[in-house]
Amino acid sequence: MVSVKLLLSLGASLALASPISPPPNSLLLTRDVAQFNASHPNITIFATGGTIAGSAGSSDQTTGYQAGALGVDILIKAVPQLWNVSNPTGVQFANVGSSEITPAILLNLTRLVQQELDKPECQGVVVTHGTDTLEETAFFLDVTLRTEKPVVVVGAMRPATAISADGPINLLEAVTVAASPAARGRGVMVVLNDRIASAYYTTKTQANAPDTFKSYEQGFLGYLLNIKPIFYFSPALPVGKPYFNVTETAAELLPQVDILYGYQGLDPKLAAAAVAGGARGLVCTGMGAGSWTAPGQQALARLITEHGTAVVFSRRTMDGYVGSRQVGYGAGFLNPQKARYTLMLALSAGYGDEQMRTLFES
């Protein structure tokens, strides 16, 4: 366990030298050339903040802490075992709670991660992230990166200053997975609590407990035993997973897509208000397998006809499939937050009706 005193004292600058070329000047870089081992894979850690970098006033405080308080240099220095499995390079991309992550930030992160993965000297990438929206970032990266190299998104449910903080071991496991040749060709992965999961399907299922990131229907890709990854299956990708090339996409070209929540007696005017506020697309968090009230569907049909609004129906249940619809598109197995990014990317790419239907419902 890493003590509060140690974590708060590890902010000293580290040597900035390594075989990996530096990122743009706006980013802070952490390397330790003295510990470089030519036989170890080079793993780049993009830090964005979150609970894994959180700090609280006492070691028994696990709520009400400050997210994104510690830098990536502190996180790396607190886990010296990282150098047993890799040559880690830390890039301080951001340091915020994950609720502050925006589509524009994700576009920039995707480009930087892709640039790093394209370097022959980089064997894998880890992204540290707050857990509140970790699944959204992981999903976005999964459908916008093109690589066989491992990409792992990791976070923590307890701040770094807490008793039994899960961040250090999660980070070590994430880097170990990213450094493993067996992790290649599996798309973006999420690693927390000894589990390895597909970013495409994984979601946060519990607001507080460490054992929270799961994909109930699709299951886990693997497990970590003594910090050694054990994969259950040969490398494979989710069936029908799309790819969107965003290397030339400007932030303003990602259209606004809002999410509406379904409930008894829902207000149909909320859909029109969202479109009036600039939404080009709507994701409806439907009841059951995506059901919506009759007045609500009539309002959505008018928006589709009069404004060309793209409408996707997902579900408010933990899991399940939403199939084809008479009004709009069914989201398939995608939950609302993942359907939202899929719709944003599809609208940005100029998808027409048939492409949308194939994308969501095939």
Catalytic residues: 51, 131
- How would you write 150-193 as a 3-class SS string? CEEEECCCCCCCCCCCCHHHHHHHHHHHHCCHHHCCCCEEEEEC
* Nearest one of 131, 138, 128, 209 to 171, comparing CA atoms: 128
Instruction: Give the whole-angstrom CA distance, residue 24 versus residue 26.
Output: 5
Q: Is 132 annotated as a binding residue?
A: yes
**Helix H or strand E encompassing 45:** strand 42-49
Residue 98 is assigned to a ligand binding site: yes
**327 vs 313: CA distance, rounded Å:** 9
What's the DSSP call for residue 110?
Answer: H
For 21, 34, 36, 322, the CA distances from 88, given in Å and listed in that order, are 13, 12, 9, 42
Residue 224 has phi, psi (to 5 degrees) of -115, 125
First to last CA, the chain: 47
| Of 333, 239, 354, 338, nearest in space to 289 by CA | 333
Residues 6+ apart with CB under 8 A from 228: 176
| Binding site residue list for substrate | 98, 131-132
| Binding site residue list | 98, 131-132
